[in-house]
Amino acid sequence: MARMTMIEAIRDALDLAMGADDRVVVFGEDVGYFGGVFRCTAGLQRKYGPTRCFDAPINESGIVGAAIGMAAYGLRPVVEIQFADYAYPAYDQIVSEAARLRYRSAGEFTCPLVVRMPAGGGIFGGQTHSQSPEALFTHVSGLKVVVPSNPQDAKGLLLSAIADPDPVIFLEPKRLYNGPFDGHHDRPITAWKAHDLGEVPEGPHAVPLGQAVTRRPGNAVTVLTWGTMVHVALAATEETGIDAEVIDLRTLLPLDLPAIVASVSRTGRCLVLHEATLTSGFGAELAALVQTECFWHLEAPVRRVAGWDTPYPYVHEWNYFPGPARVGAALRELVEV
């Protein structure tokens, strides 16, 4: 085991994948020589050369379009969209080409492509550097969508994504890139210490796609969440003393529905927590699934806590985040029903 930040774990996964398979190529804006805006690819061009790790023009559609062609011809490209907010110019390529290639060709071609995107807030990036667009990709048949919450999973899930024969959207929470974060902006979330996952296995380490994990067992209410909000949920349960079960989904597509059903059927209550905008967020799909699959077990309506339905604020981002106070209040309301 080695102590790593999420940035280091992602870099380690890319290094291992490139070393094991010369079909793996890594590229994107500033990815090669500079090593990426967040330094996730630092040193890879020097180690593997400019044909394996290289810079691309500021053209997200071109980056993903070129990668789709590479994947169709047998390479395994891993591309970085500098911020998830910049994915929209590439959305047509992802949806109309990458996600459809296997089906459209009757299996003759596949698209083993990973699109890495730093996502979410926490760096005062404002409305064009802080979005969480996972719902835009979970709506697309043919894609897989992954959001790690810690360095260990970041490495294991990324290695599994690179090995996958189909396109994977890999969203990396920027707020978690460098380790424990300040959930209240003025004091640390102590739950991180109790659930510290900064220890990362050295060498090959795969975390299967489509498997959720219980971060905290409980009997009073189930919290379904992913990414940064896993740690907010843990902090809220610690501060309220409510016996909540915190489920880290890790993979939104494919979704581990059996794990969700088992937990909610036992607790009888469910809170869905995400950083992205509330309206039409992925939490709505989860709420609908819980309502359908667990109706006769529910003791209270399914509750959602999410980001505000506004463009992402710059000055007030710590109010925009669903923090432990908002989550704690929702948990109290649920258990009182």
Residue 124 has pLDDT above 80, yes or no: no
1 or 99, higher pLDDT:
99
At a CB cut-off of 8 Å and minimum separation 6, what does 162 contact? 13, 17, 24, 76, 78, 112, 114
CA-based radius of gyration for the chain = 19
Q: What pLDDT is recorded for position 181?
A: 54
Contacts of 126-131 with CB under 8 Å at 24 or more apart are 126/312, 126/313, 126/314, 127/85, 127/311, 127/312, 127/313, 127/314, 128/83, 128/85, 129/83, 129/85, 130/85, 130/312, 130/317, 131/84, 131/85, 131/276, 131/312
2-176 has CATH 3.40.630.40 classification: no
Comparing CA positions, the residue from 245, 200, 234, 204 lying closest to residue 3 is 200
Residue 226 has pLDDT above 50, yes or no: yes
Where does the chain hold its CATH 3.40.50.970 domain(s)?
Answer: 2-176
Q: What pLDDT is recorded for position 312?
A: 78
Q: What pLDDT is recorded for position 143?
A: 98
Looking at residues 9-30, what average pLDDT do you find? 98
Q: What is the CATH number of domain 210-336?
A: 3.40.50.920
Residue 44 has pLDDT above 90, yes or no: yes
DSSP 8-state assignment for residue 248: E
Q: Which of 129, 195, 205, 231 is catalytic?
A: 129
Q: What pLDDT is recorded for position 180?
A: 59
Comparing CA positions, the residue from 79, 272, 250 lying closest to residue 150 is 250
For 69-88, the pLDDT digits (tens) are 999 999 999 999 999 999 99
Q: What pLDDT is recorded for position 185?
A: 46
Q: Give CA–CA dist 270/5, Å, rounded.
A: 31
Amino acid (1-letter code) at residue 327:
V
Look up 129 and say whether it is catalytic.
Answer: yes
For 199-214, the pLDDT digits (tens) are 899 999 999 999 999 9
Looking at residues 7-19, what average pLDDT do you find? 97
For 134-178, the pLDDT digits (tens) are 999 999 999 999 999 999 999 999 999 999 999 999 999 998 998
Residue 188 has pLDDT above 60, yes or no: no
Where does the chain hold its CATH 3.40.50.920 domain(s)?
Answer: 210-336
pLDDT band at 290 (very low <50, low <70, confident <90, very high): very high
Q: What pLDDT is recorded for position 191?
A: 43
% pLDDT > 70, the chain: 95
For 155-269, where are the E strands, in sequence order?
168-173, 199-200, 213-216, 221-225, 244-248, 251-253
Encode 226-257: b = buried (16+ Cβ within 10 Å), e = exposed: bbbbbbbbbbbbbbbebebbbbbbbbbbebbe
Q: What pLDDT is recorded for position 85?
A: 95
Looking at residues 10-38, what average pLDDT do you find? 97
